Chain A
Amino acid sequence: MNDTIDTATDTVLAAEELTRQVNSPEGSLTIVDHVSLRIREGESVAIVGASGAGKSTLLALLAGLDSPTSGRVILAGQDLTRLDEDGRARLRAERVGFVFQSFHLVPALTALENVMLPLELAGRRDAREGALQALERVGLRDRVGHYPRQLSGGEQQRVALARAFVTRPAVLFADEPTGNLDTVTGARVTQLLFDMNTSARTTIVLVTHDRELASRCERVLVMEGGRLA
């Protein structure tokens, strides 16, 4: 399938010469600059760096939320650049989970319904049971019928975690998952994240400013001006 990247069985995510440019009024701007990396199954990787370094953009490229200007991403054995938008969406439905800084729950849906969503999108029949279990694991069994606005920030993030893990994804992407939480709540969310990493052997790629969180990852990548240092 490809020549330069070793897709040995334990590589779940690889990037090759990944570049993202945007056109701004001041001319073309390179946000992600020839980034190559390889992440093993079950590995936890933190991407850190100054604000504006391009961390979120890199994450979006790795997850197939955005398309690179040049370079390739291989996710779970598939070349994302060869898939169209819908193809990438399908791949995400099956293999990828997300947690964001600002929780991103569907405000119209209850906690349970939010967690059921990815299961339904992946066409699972047991969406309800799966979602209940996931919520149980994040300790929100008794809040299933609540809407996001009825939950605190930490609770919302735990719902988001449950939603990210409910499909048992191969890779979990997280963009500053504790960014909006206080230290104690943040630690609780962090704990949950790594519990799941161990129990389900889920690969975790997270962007963070949180030293504590970064230090718990097996590998830390530092970004500077769009490049990996």
Chain B
Amino acid sequence: MRALQLAMRMLGREWRSGELGILLLALTVAVAALTGVGFLANRISQAVDMQATEVLAADLRLESPSPLSDDYLAEARRQGLRTASVTTVLSVVFRDEVSQLSNIRAASDGYPLRGKVMVASEPFGIGQPVDGGPPAGEAWPDSRLVAALGAKLGDRLSIGAGSFRITRVLMARPDQGGTFADLAPSILINDADLAATQLLGPGSRARFAQLFAGGRDGVGAFKAWLESSRQRSERLLDVSDASPQIKNALDRAGSFLSLASLVAVLLCSIAVAMAARRYVQRHLDSVALLKTLGATRGLTLAVSLLQLLVVAIGAALLGSVIGFATHEWLLRALKELLQAQLPPADLAPVGLGFLAAIAVLGGFALPPLLQLSRVPAIRVLRRDVGPPPPLVWLAFGPAVIAVVLLIWWVTRDLKIFAGFVVGLAAFIALLSFAGVLLVRAASALRGTVGVSWRYGIANLSRRRGESVIQIVAFGLGIMVLLMLAVVRNDLLMDWRRSLPPDLPNVFFINIPPADRDPFVDFLQDSGARTSRVLPMIRARLTQLNGEAVDQIEFASPRGEDFAQREQNITWQDDLGDDNRVIAGRWWSVEDRGKALVSVSTEVQEALGLQIGDRLTFDVAGEPYEAAVASVRKVKWDSFQPNFFLVFAPGLLDDTVGTWMTSAFFERQEGRTIAELVRRFPSVSVFDLDELLTQVRSMIDKAVLAVQSVFLFTLLAGLVVLLAAVQATRDERRYESAMLRTLGASRATVTRGVLAEFAMLGLLSGLLAAAGASVAGWLLARFVLGIEYGFDPRVWLLGLVGGATLVAVAGWAATRSVLRQPPITTLRAG
């Protein structure tokens, strides 16, 4: 109790004298970076999630070929969720004598729960968002249907026994998806009119969907309930089932954000460790004196710990506030880009900020403080006596535990976690080893350089241990910055490249063989940018390695699905630059006509295929057996025609059903598309413009998040630099005074300091460039799944940038020290 009182009183004094300021600063920046990143990542990922849910028109979606129980809806409402339902029936729509097979979509009021329906007043026009779907009695046919029926606004259509008036042209639904399962055009009506059409009878081809939306926790709880209550045939979809393009972008953004924030945390930990070291150095005398005056070890420890705790709490509070303010400011500044309504901030990052502050302090500041309390009292008489050397596990154990915990908390993915931990450990070990070698090598230069450099290098090798630590810390910091710069560029370029503005936005399928050439001519004449034209054949998988697929138990529901559904297959000569063979080989000219098939990674995973496996397909009643020749990774977001299953050319030439292609149309060319639909009535047109806009805006958000996190990491790197330079400040103050007393000019001393830091920066830069090249490659290849372009500028930037940055920072931080007249320093000593 007395210890506590005394500690608190001492704290007040320590505080007034500003000794804890640096530790507080380092920790505050750490927490600010951490919570800032947390808030930002959290809210942006929520926003992206929210947008992704638009693809389902809901947060959760339950689908079934048979009617769904109303109990689900009732339960959802009871749990406070919003609900809607959509029933889709395949039927014929008439305008007078003209008819067209269509998907009739009857949506309840409230649809869509997420996203907006886009409508226009003419087919293939420019869509405008509206709230909800059509009211009772009205129908919104899509562009294809309007064109096919030759209809216009105000016309009456009959569907089954019901009659409807066209009030709008449906341009896009949020849940239209990117697949071509729906060959027929769509027409949206109100759920209330469905009964009157009398379409839902026995034998009707209907699909039923229930939509749910609400808060994150509510949806999570309801999802769990639904998982256990639903029938097996009912399919439950959520964000992760949203279209693959979006999921890709999300995953990449997620990986990058977590890694970037992790790096910021680690950098801050280094800064905290350095600040703590400095704190200890500065307090060795005071603690020895306290002990001489009769303080016990426990008391001195209590004093340090209490101070630490207060600093931790202060830094956590201050850091959280700064972090929150920074992220608010960033979001506000970038509001234009984030069109979507942002969900309110989740306070979780604050708690985690506190925990991390404690973890970082406990891991990185506690061990040196424990050491501090062991400094013997005799130090008051013999200045050279320090604390006994620490036990290795005590010095590094807590730091390792804290780092591992933090990494786990941020990654939450065993693979990335393991990769990061092993990589980091290996890297630090390597860096330390290289650091020792470099310091040795530098010492060898001593005899060959001028006095300033000799002084600088002598300093490096005299403080060999410290020098290595600093080289490793700077190296790590510079490396991370280099790596972020490199990978970030690759990533952004990769994203931008993946969705250029002139990406195909209209797909044409069902092009009859006879129409193929005139159709392609028409497209080219109209000025649209076209892509490849591929045959499209309906096929059903019947056997796998001679065994009937309905006898096989597939591990994944996707495999099950795949085996049951009819597939679209194609044949193709060229691989295309949006496909990459990751196993087996692509066919050559000699393979023409051979029974070979290339599968996409999705099929390979769903069916558990290996190269050489035999697949038997039923193509229009005829069995075809083909061996798996290659596995392709398909970039679906190229929006070129792509197929899960591609056969070698020559085998299926005679079976050709229809052809498909895609093209880019300017939006103003709606008329051309309408004309095309009239000229080639059997061709089905899919307008993906709306979907593309969705994906693009999501990627923009992800890019924004990445860039802001990059800012935080940069800040953290600078703090490390500052802390490192600060760590040697006192020593330098004394040295410089000594040297100048001995007659060295200020310029000589300054040059010596510059030389030392430049050398330090050069060595760190060397290590950093090497590390960044390797780590960047690993990161790009295995975590982000993008191509890594080797960049020699990394070396230039690492060496020159490292030397300059460290030298300038070192000089700036010691400038005031060097300026002081020697007497001030010597008197204070």
What residues of chain A have their CB less than 8 Å away from a CB belonging to chain B?
56-57, 59-60, 63, 65-66, 85-86, 89-94, 96, 98, 100, 104, 106-110, 113, 117-118, 120-123, 147, 149, 163, 175
Q: Residue of B at shortest CB range from A147? A: B17
Q: Total interface residues on B, using CB and 8 Å?
A: 28
CB contacts (< 8 Å) of B296 on chain A: these are: 85-86, 89-90
Tell me the complex Cα distance, A95–B295, Å. Answer: 13
Are A86 and B297 interface neighbours, CB within 8 A? yes
Task: Tell me if B's interface is mostly helix, strand, loop or mixed.
Answer: helix
B333 at the interface (CB under 8 A from A): no
**A107-B828 in contact (CB<8A):** yes
Contact of A66 among B14, B17, B299, B376 (CB under 8 A): B376
The smallest beta-carbon distance between B103 and chain A, in angstroms, is 79
Given A89-B294, A92-B292, A96-B294, residue A121 in contact with residue B6 (CB < 8 A): yes
Tally of A-B Cβ pairs under 8 angstroms: 84
Q: Which of B154-162, B283-291, B623-631 contacts A (4 or more CB under 8 A)?
A: B283-291
| 17 A-B pairs in the complex with CB atoms less than 8 angstroms apart | A59-B381, A60-B378, A60-B381, A65-B380, A89-B377, A90-B296, A91-B294, A92-B293, A94-B294, A98-B293, A98-B380, A108-B19, A108-B286, A120-B6, A121-B6, A121-B299, A147-B17
Q: With A108-B17, A109-B13, A121-B6 given, is the CB distance from A93 to B827 under 8 Å?
A: no
- Known contacts A92-B293, A120-B6, A120-B9; A86 and B298 CB within 8 A of each other: yes
Query: In the bound complex, how far is the Cα of B285 from the Cα of A104, in angstroms?
Result: 8
Residues of A within 8 A of B6 (CB): 120-121
B565 at interface, CB cutoff 8 A: no
Q: Is B232 an interface residue (CB 8 A)?
A: no
Known: A86-B297, A113-B13, A149-B828. A98 touches B292 (CB 8 A): yes
Q: Which residues of B contact A65 (CB under 8 A)?
A: 292, 376-378, 380-381
Bitwise interface map of B from 6 to 45 toward A, beta carbon under 8 Å scored 1, else 0: 1001000110010100000000000000000000000000
Whether B2 pairs with A123 at a CB distance below 8 angstroms is yes
**Which of A107, A113, A117 interacts with B293 by CB under 8 Å?**
A117
CB-defined contacts of B297 to chain A, threshold 8 Å: 85-86, 89
B382 within 8 A of A: yes
* B382 contacts A121, C-beta separation under 8 Å: no
Q: Which residue of B lies closest to A63 (CB)?
A: B292
Find residues 362-381 in chain B having any chain A CB closer than 8 Å to their own CB: 376-378, 380-381
Q: Which residue of B lies closest to A64 (CB)?
A: B377
**14 additional A-B residue pairs with CB within 8 Å, beyond A85-B291, A92-B293:** A60-B378, A65-B292, A65-B376, A66-B377, A66-B378, A85-B376, A89-B294, A92-B292, A106-B286, A107-B828, A121-B290, A121-B299, A149-B827, A163-B293
Nearest-neighbour CB distance to chain A for B77, whole angstroms, equals 65
* Most central of A63, A85, A89, A92 by chain B CB within 10 Å: A89
Chain A residue contacts of B285, Cβ below 8 A: 104
Of all chain B residues, the one with the shortest Cβ separation from A59 is: B381
Check if A89 sits within 8 Å of B291, measured CB to CB. Answer: yes
**A55 CA to B376 CA, complexed, in Å:** 19
Contact check, A104 vs B380: say whether CB atoms are below 8 A apart: yes
Closest A residue to B286 by beta carbon equals A106
**Residue among B295, B378, B381, B828 with the most chain A CB within 10 A?**
B381
How far is it, in angstroms, between the C-alpha of A112 and the C-alpha of B2 when the chains are bound? 20
Q: Least Cβ distance of A20 to chain B in Å?
A: 11
Chain B residues near A57 (CB, 8 Å)?
381
Q: What is the CA–CA distance of A104 and B288 in the complex, to the nearest angstrom?
A: 10
Interface core residue of A85, A104, A122 (most chain B CB under 10 Å): A104
Q: How far is the CA of A149 from the CA of B378 in the complex (A)?
A: 23
A163 to B294, CA, bound (A): 13
Of the candidates A60, A108, A121, A147, the one whose C-beta lies within 8 Å of that of B294 is: A121
Name the B residues within 8 Å of A121 (CB-CB): 6, 290, 293-295, 299
Q: Which residue of A lies closest to B291 (CB)?
A: A89
- Given the known A-B contacts A106-B286, A123-B2, are A56 and B294 also in contact in the complex, defined by CB atoms under 8 Å? no
Chain B contacts of A56 at CB under 8 A? Answer: 381-382
A63 to B294, CA, bound (A): 11
Complex CA distance for A60 and B381, rounded to whole angstroms: 8
Q: Which residues of B348-395 are within 8 A (CB) of A?
A: 376-378, 380-382
Question: Whole-angstrom distance from the CB of B596 to the nearest CB of chain A?
Answer: 77
Select which of A66, A106, A113 is within 8 A of B289 by beta carbon: A106
List, in ascending order, chain A residues with CB within 8 A of B298's CB: 86
* CB contact list, B276-333 vs A, under 8 A: 285-286, 289-299
Give the top 3 A-B pairs by smallest Cβ distance, nearest first. A93-B294, A108-B17, A86-B296
